[in-house]
Structure 1
Amino acid sequence: MENDHNGNTRFNFDAKVSAYDLAATYMSPWEKAIKESNPLGIMCSYNMVNGKPTCGNPESYNILKEWGYEGYITSDTDSCESIYDSKKGHGYVKTGEEATALCLQGSTDIDSGHGLLSTYNRYLESGVQNGVIDRELVDKALYNSYKMRMRLGLFDGKKTKQNAYTRISTDVVQQESHVQASLNAARKTMTLLKNDKKILPFTKGKVVAVIGESSNSGEDILGNYVGPICPGPNRKKTFNCVATIFDMVKKLNEQGTVNSISGQTLLVDNVNDVDQALDAANQADYVVLTISNAVREIGGGEAYDRMNLTVGNAQLNLIKKVLDVGKPTAIVMINGGVISLDEGIIEHQNANSILNAWMPGQHGALAVAETLFGDNNPGGKMPVTMYKNSYIHEVDFLNISMQAGPGRSYRYFTGEPIFPFGHGLSYTTFSMSIESTSSCVVNKPSDECKFRIKTTNTGHRLGDEVVMVFFKPTHVDGQQQASLAGTPVLMKQLIDFKRITLAPGSSRDLVFDVKGHQLGLIDEDGNRVLQKSAFDIIFSRGFYEEGLQIRVPIKVNTEKQHMLSPFNHKWW
C-alpha cells in the first residue's frame, strides 16, 4: 500500500495480525530464510504491526536472534521519521530524539536515506546529550554496521593482503557462465497455463505477428524496480542492450524456412493501434499476443498501488479483437503480480494457449521465444493463485487476516481460481505412481514416513516435471475437524517438492521423507505443536486437472502434545 487508502499509507498503517497468522504465514518464510541461508542484512519497514513500529520493536529483533540472526538491520528510507511524524507517519512518539531512541532499541543499526536530513543524523547526538538515547545502543549499532564493512574488506589498505572481494575484475560482468545461468533460470520459469488444440509449439519459418504491450520492451521484462542496465551517458537508464520478445521471436523464426522462403515477423506494440494489429494478425500464420502489467500504473510498484488484478481497457480491447481474428495465438503474460484473465480472455474460444513468462530477466526474451518455438519445453508451476478480478471486491485489503473474505493463498482460499497454485503444463506427458498407499503412523517429531513416487515421461520429448508434497489435516485430537480449537481450517500446506528432467520413456523414483515435526499445526497463540491427529499426504503434479494427485493417509499417534516451537514474543 503506497498511496492513501481511507487514510492509510505505507507510512502510517498499523497491521493487526493474529498470533496464528504471524506464526503460520508472515514469519514462517523469514524463519526459514534466516535459519537455512544465514543472511547478513535485513530492512525494516515504515508501518506498524500490532501497535508497534517495525523499526522500533525490540521483540521483532528478539525473534530474529532466536532464529540465529547475526547481521545488521537497516531502515527503509528513513523509516524512523514515520515514528514521530504524525502528519506523514504514525506519530508513535512526539520527538525525533524519542524516535531515534526507539529505532536503536529495535536494533535498527542504520537509518538509511535522506542523507544529512535523516532522523539519526538530526537527532542522535542531541538525544545522547539529553539523556534520551542510551550511548550503549549507539555503540552496538555502530559495531554491527562496521562489522559488515570489515567482513567485506572495505578498510583493507593497498599494502595489506587484499581479500577476494577486492580482486573481482570487471571482466566477470556478462561472462558466459553468468549469461547461461540467467538464461537457464528464465527457461525454467516458463509456465504453460493452457495449450488446448496443441497450438504450441509454433513452427519456425512462418509469418508471425508479435502484438501487444511490452512485446518490444527490454525494460518491461526486467521488472519495474531496476537501475542502469546498459551503458549510457551520465548513468541514464537505458535498456537497448536487452533483447525484446519481438527481437528473439524474429531471430528464431527467421532461422526457419518454408519452401526456401525465410520466415517473416511483424510487430505492433502500440495497443491503441487496433487496425494495424488486426491487419498484422490477418497476414500471420501465428500470433504472439502479449498481456502485461509491467507498467507501474497498472501492475504497481514504488509509489504505485494496484487498483485491480487486470490490465487497462486498451489492452483488453486489443486482445479480444485480435483473438476474434481466429489465427493460432499464444497469449504471453509479462507480469510480476498476478493478472486475472477472466475479463473476456480466458473464456474466449480462441484463447487456446497461454504462457506465463513472468518478468524473466535480461535473457528472458530468448527463453520466451525458445518456448514458443519448442526449443525449450516449459516446466514451471504457478507459485501463486490466479484469482478472478472480482476477488478485490471480496476482500478488505486492510484486513491482514489470511482468512478474510474467501481467504488468501491456496492454503485458505475457498473460491474457484482461474489457475491454482502448482498448475503448469508441458509439451510432453507424465505419469505418477506410488509403491503403497497404506497408512503410515508417527509417534513423535523425529519419526518419519518414507514414500517412493515413480514419475515417468510418457511423451515423446525431453521435459521437466515437478512433484509437490502437501499435507491436509483431516482429524485433530480425535475429532473429525481439520484444525486446532480457535484456528481456521487449513486447506493444504506444501511441505516438499522435487523437480526432475526426464527423457522420453524414462522414469525416476523420487523418495520423500515426511517427518513428524512437519505435521505440526499452529494453535491460536502462535505455538507450533504436534498432537494426535490425522492427515492426507497429497502428491501432486498440479491441481488443475483430475488424475494428477495421489493421496496417502498418515496418523500422528501421540498421547501427549509436543511443543515444536513456542511463540514467546507477543508484544500486544
Structure 2
Amino acid sequence: MIKLCGLILFAVCFDLISRQPQALGGMSVRSPWQDVSLPIERRVLALVSNMTVEEKISQLSSSSAAIDHLDIPAFNWWTECLHGMWMPWDNAKAATFFPQPIGLAATWDTEFVGGIASIISEEMRAINNEQYSKDKTYRGLNCFGPNINIFRDPRWGRGSETYGEDPHLTSRMGVAFVKGLQSEDPAYIKVGATCKHFAAYSLENSDGYSRLSFNASVSQRDAVDTYLPAFEACVTEGHAQSVMCSYNAVNGVPTCASRDLLQKHLRQDWTFPGMVVSDCGSVEGVSQNHKFAKSLAEGAADTLKAGTDMSCADYSYLKDSLKEGLVGHIDIDMALIRVLTQRFKLGMFDPPELQPWSSIPMDVVGSQHHVEVAEEAVRRGSVLLKNKKTSIHHGAPKTLPLDASKLKKVSVLGPFAHSPEMLLGNYYGTPAGHVTTPFEAVKAYLGDKAEVSLHLGTRVTGYAPISEDAINACREVDVCIFFVGSSMIKTHEQAGPADMYTMWSGTTEGEGFDRSHIKLPGSQEEIIKAAAVNTDTPIVVVLVHGGPLDVSWMHKSDRIGAIMSAWYPGQGAAGIADLLFGKVSPSGKLPITFYYNNYTEIQSMSNMDMRSWPGRTYRYLQEPEIYPFSHGLSYTAFEYRSLGLRKDANALGDPNAFIARVEVHNTGDVEAAEVVHLFVAPSPVLLGAAAGNALPQKTLKGFARIVVKPGQHQAVELPLASKDFQFASSEHAFGDSRGLQVVAGDWLVQVGSEEISCSVSAVKPLQVISRLVTATQRLNSN
C-alpha cells in the first residue's frame, strides 16, 4: 500500500511539474503550487515534490520555518482561542476576552456561542492582516481549541476550559464553536480549529500522578458513552481541520502514539482527513515520560506512524528516525500533505484579494460591539443558584433582584471584587481595552443614587485579615455583595500578622493544578460567616470560578439571601450588575454538578470509571448533590405542560423516531429566557436489569433556549431517534469490536417537570454519529 501511494504521488507530481503554471489576473505564476486554477490536492503534491527531506521535516513542527526558494513563509501554529485570541509567543497582541468556556456552556445557546467563535476568528484575521501588510508573513490563523474533554471530576484544574460534564452538551457546543471559527466558505477556512485533547484527558497532578505520564484506564463503555462522542461530532459535523492528541496514555499507549485512537477511530471510523498535532511536548513524552519508546527518535517514529502529523513543539527527531530506518519517506510525506493542505486552505499561497477576510481592519479588535457581546455572555450564562425571600411574610420579595431605588449604601467585598486579571480565567493575553470589575459595574449601575464602598475582606488563599473588617463593612449598609471563588492566576500575596511574612500562591485551579478539595479556598467562607452572624444586613454571594464549589453552608443558611455563579466573566463583568439589579433575568443553567466536598474523600480522581460508586457526573452519581446538572433559577416562574410524544413521520425506517412536544408557560411577571432540557431515562425495570450500572440514570439528548413573555407560552419540539437510546454493549477496553446497541424496552422521556414513557424497539446497531438537535418553537398567547 505504501509503495502504491508513493507511485501515485510520483505520477501526479510529474504531471504537475510538466504543466505550464496558469496565470492569475495577468500576473505570472512561478510554480504549480501557486496556480489557483488547480485543486488544492494537486497543488500540495506539487509543493511536496519540490522539497528536500530536511525541508519537509521543518514543516512538521509547530514553529514552521520559512523556505524562501519555495515561497513558503514561516508560520507559528500555536495560537490559543479558548475564549479569545492569545499568542503565547507574542503576548503583546491584544484581543477581546469572553467568559471561560464553562460559562459559555451555561448559556445553553449554541448559536450565540458560535457567534462568539466567529468574533474571535474575526479578531485573529484582523491581526493577521495587519502583520501581512507589514512583512508578508502570517500569524494567528490556527487555533489550538476548543477543549472538548469531559469535566468528569470536580477537582480537575482545567474543567473551566471545557463545556461541562455532559457529552451531548459538549458535542453541540464544540461543533458550534468550530463552525464559528472556521466559517463555511466553500474555498477557504477563516481560522483552523483544533479539537483537543484526544482522548480521556482530565487529570493534572492528582493521586501521585502527573498528566505527562498518567495512564487512563478506559473501558469500552466509558469510551463510547462518555469520552469519544464530542470528538466524533467535532470532526464529522464540525469538520475541524485538526485534532490534538493529549499528554496521557490510554490503556497503556500514549495517545499521540496510539494507532487505535488516531487511525482506527479518528481516520478509519470517522474518516477524518485533517491533521493531528501533539500537545506541546507530547512527542518527547512518549520516551521521556511514558517510557513507551527507548529514544526520542523511536518516540518520534511511533507518533508519526500512529498518525501524529505535527509536533508541538519539535519534530526534528524524525531526521534520526529516518536514518535509523524507523520511518520511511512516505510516512513523512503523508503527514506533510495533511499539514500543508491546511495552510493552503488558510490562503497562505494565494493572493489576499481572493480571500473573503483579507480586508478586516484592526479596529474590530476590542470594539464596543465585541465587549458588549462579552457582557451579554455573562448575562446569559450566569446561574442563579439560590434566591430566598427577604422575610417569611406572604408576598415578601426575594433577595434578588435588588431594588436600586431603595439602596443608599452598598458594600462590595471579596478578592474578586476589583481584580481585573482574576476575572479572565486562563489562556488569555493582553485584553483589548478595559476589563470592568464587579465593583466598577455595581458602582456604574447605581451612579449617584447610592454610596458603593469596596473592601477586600480576604485573599483567595492564605491568612485572612481579621473578620472584623468584613463585619464593619456590612454594618449600617443596605446590602453586602461578596465576590469570592477560586483563582487561576499565579499571584503572590504578602499576608499575616505583623510578626509573620508569608508568600501565598493565588492559583487554586488551572493547568497543572488539580484541587485537593472543592471548598472555597482560604478564608473566604469565614468572612462571609462573620458578616452573617454579626450583622443583619442582607447578603448576596457571587461566585467567580471554574469548577464546582461546596457552598452547602451558604445554601442552607437563612442569612445568605442569594448565590449566583458568574464563572470567570472575562471582559463581560458589567453584565453581573444587570442581573443583580434586575435589568434582565438570570437564565443560565449549570453544565456541571455541584458536589459536596466529601465526594473528594470517597472518589479517587485517577479512577476513570464513570460508573463505579459513588459514580461520576449526573448520569451515574449515586450520592446527593448540592445543585444538580441543569439547575438554574429565574426572576419569573415557568410551568411545563402537556408533554406529548408522537412518531416522527419524516424519519422513515426508524421505529424509535419521536418528536417530544411541551408547552412552556411564563406564569410570572418578568420576560425571561428559559432552557428546555430533554432527558431520556431507562425505566426502573430496564435500569435494574442492566448489569454493572451499564446504563446512565438519565442522559441529555436535546435542549432549546427560548424567551417567553409574561402570560404567554411557547410550544417546543425536540426530536429523538434510535441513536438516542444507543449505548455501549461491552465493558472491555475500547478497541473491542463490539460497539453499541439500541437498548430496547421502556424508557422515560423527561422535559422540565414533565415525564412520559415510550417503548423502544430493538434495531440493528447504528454508526455513532452525533446529531444536531434543533427546536421548533411556536409563540402562542394565553
Which secondary structure does the structure 1 equivalent of 2:322 belong to? helix
Q: 1:439 to 1:41 in 2, by over 3 A?
A: closer
Alignment match, 1:64: 266
Of residues 698, 703, 707, the one that matches 1:501 is 707
The 1-side partners of 2:724 and 2:204 are apart by 39
Alpha carbons of structure 1 residues 483 and 104: separation in structure 2 relative to 1, 3 Å: farther
Task: Determine the structure 1 residue equivalent to 2:591.
Answer: 383
Q: TM-score, normalised by structure 1?
A: 0.87
Separation in structure 2 between the aligned mates of residue 286 and residue 490 of structure 1, nearest angstrom: 43
Which of residues 755, 763, 767 in structure 2 aligns to 1:565?
A: 767
Determine what percentage of the aligned residue pairs are the same residue: 29
Name the counterpart of 2:230: 29
User: Counterpart of 2:252?
Assistant: 51
Partner of 2:522: 313
Are 1:96 and 2:296 matched, yes or no?
yes
- 1:145-160 aligned within 5 A: 145-156=339-350
How far apart are 1:172 and its partner, in Å? 1.3
Does residue 268 of structure 1 match 2:455? yes
Superposed, 1:6-21 pairs within 5 Å as 6-21=207-222
The Cα of 1:332 is off from its aligned counterpart by: 0.3
Equivalence for 2:399? 199
**For the Cα contact (< 8 Å) 2:248–2:255, is it kept in 1?**
yes
- Cross-structure match for 1:105: 305
Deviation at 1:378, TM superposition (A): 0.2
CA distance in 1 between counterparts of 2:203 and 2:761 reads 48
Instruction: Spell out the pairing of 1:173-188 with structure 2 (5 A cutoff).
Output: 173-188=365-380
Post-superposition Cα deviations, 1:290-326, rounded to whole Å, max 9, x if no partner, equal: 2210245553112322111112232121121122223
Residue 210 of structure 1: aligned partner:
412
C-alpha RMSD of the superposition: 2.4
426-435 vs 409-418, which moves further = 426-435
- Bigger relative contact order, structure 1 or 2, given CA contacts below 8 A and separation 6+? 2
Kindly tell me: are residues 136 and 270 of structure 1, through their superposed partners in 2, closer, same or farther at Cα, counting changes over 3 Å? Answer: farther
Equivalent-residue separation in structure 2 for 1:280 and 1:254 (angstroms): 20
Q: Secondary structure at the match of 1:333?
A: strand
Name the SS of the counterpart of 1:64 in structure 2: helix
SS of the counterpart of 2:226? helix
| 134-143 vs 481-490, greater mean Cα deviation | 481-490
Given residue 269 of structure 1, which amino acid in structure 2 is its aligned partner? L
**Aligned-partner Cα distance in 1 for 2:245–2:214:** 14
**In structure 2, distance between residues paired with 1:339 and 1:553:** 35
Cα distance change on mapping 1:345 and 1:142 into 2, 3 Å: same
Normalising by structure 2, report the TM-score. 0.64
Give the Cα–Cα distance (whole angstroms) in 1 for the partners of residues 743 and 248 of structure 2: 36
1:74 corresponds in structure 2 to 277
- Superposed counterparts of 1:85-484, under 5 Å: 85=288, 89-113=289-313, 118=314, 120-121=315-316, 123-156=317-350, 161-197=353-389, 198-204=398-404, 205-230=407-432, 241-254=434-447, 262-271=449-458, 272-273=464-465, 274-296=467-489, 297=506, 299-324=508-533, 325-342=535-552, 344-363=553-572, 365-434=573-642, 436=644, 445=654, 447-474=656-683, 480-482=686-688, 484=690
Question: Structure 1's 189 and 5: CA in aligned 2 closer, same or farther, altered over 3 A?
Answer: closer
Query: Structure 1: which 5+ residue stretches go unaligned?
Result: 232-240, 256-261, 541-548, 568-572
1:395 positional shift = 0.5
| Distance apart, 1:516 and its partner CA | 2.6
In 1, Cα distance between the equivalents of 2:359 and 2:652? 54
Q: What is the Cα deviation at residue 463 of structure 1?
A: 0.5
Query: Could you tell me which of 241, 248, 256 is aligned with 1:40?
Result: 241
Residue type at the aligned position of 2:751: F
Shift of 1:230: 4.3
Say if 2:587 and 2:634, in contact at 8 Å, map to a contact too: yes
* Aligned-partner Cα distance in 2 for 1:519–1:73: 31
The answer as to whether partners of 2:402 and 2:580 remain within 8 angstroms in 1 is yes
Q: 1:352 to 1:94 in 2, by over 3 A?
A: same
Deviation larger for 48-57 or 61-70: 61-70
Amino acid in structure 2 at the alignment position of 1:460: D
AA at the equivalent of 2:284: E
SS of the residue 1:330 aligns to: strand
Aligned to 1:570: none
Partner of 2:261: helix, strand, or coil?
Answer: helix
Equivalent residue number for residue 36 of structure 2: none
Contact 1:298 1:312 survives alignment (8 Å): no
Inter-CA distance 482–298: structure 2 relative to 1 (3 Å threshold): farther
CA distance in 2, matches of 1:10, 1:183: 34
SS at match of 1:563: coil
Q: What does residue range 490-529 of structure 1 map to in structure 2 within 5 Å? A: 490-524=696-730, 527-529=739-741
Q: Which amino acid aligns with 1:34?
A: V
* Runs ≥4 residues deviating over 3 A: 1-7, 295-299, 435-447, 479-487
> d(CA) in 2 for partners of 1:503 and 1:293?
36
Q: CA deviation at 1:446?
A: 5.5
Amino acid at match of 1:539: V
CA–CA separation in structure 2 for the residues paired with 1:131 and 1:92:
18
Distance across 1 between alignment mates of 2:652 and 2:680: 17
Tell me which residue corresponds to 1:83.
Answer: 286
> Residue deviations 1:452-485, cap 9 Å, x none?
211111111111111111111126xxx6544645
- Equivalent of residue 757 in structure 2, options 538, 543, 553: 553
The amino acid of 1:513's aligned partner reads P
- Alpha-carbon separation, structure 1, partners of 2:696 and 2:540: 36
The match for 2:74 is none
Aligned residues: 526
Task: Identify which range, 4-13 or 427-436, moves more after superposition.
Answer: 4-13
Distance 1:165 1:5, change over 3 A: same
**Closer, same or farther: CA 438–444 of 1 in aligned 2, 3 Å:** closer
Q: For residue 164 of structure 1, report the CA deviation from its aligned partner.
A: 2.7
CA deviation vs aligned residue, 1:359-405 (integer Å, no higher than 9, x gap): 12212x11111100111210111111000011101101111000233
The 10-residue stretch of structure 1 (30-39 or 289-298) with the greater mean CA deviation from structure 2: 289-298
Residues 1:357 and 1:6: Cα distance change in structure 2 (over 3 Å): closer
Amino acid paired to 2:618: Y
Rounded to whole Å, the distance in 1 between the matches of 2:331 and 2:709 is 59
Determine helix, strand or coil for the equivalent of 2:285.
helix
2:722 partner amino acid: G
Q: In the TM superposition, what whole-angstrom CA distance separates every residue of 1:257-293 from its partner, at most 9, and x where no partner exists?
A: xxxxx31101112403433322121132011112210
The verdict on how the C-alpha distance between 1:446 and 1:293 changes in structure 2, with shifts beyond 3 A counting, is same
SS at match of 2:430: coil
**C-alpha distance in structure 2 between counterparts of 1:277 and 1:335, whole Å:** 21
Match of 1:539 in 2: 751
Structure 2 Cα separation of the partners of residues 203 and 302 of structure 1: 40
Question: Could you list the per-position Cα deviations for residues 103-148 of structure 1 after superposition, in whole angstroms to 9, with x for gaps in the alignment?
Answer: 11122111113xxxx3x22x21121122112221111222222221
What SS class does the counterpart of residue 531 from structure 2 fall into? helix
Contact 1:15–1:48 (CA<8 Å) still a contact in 2? yes
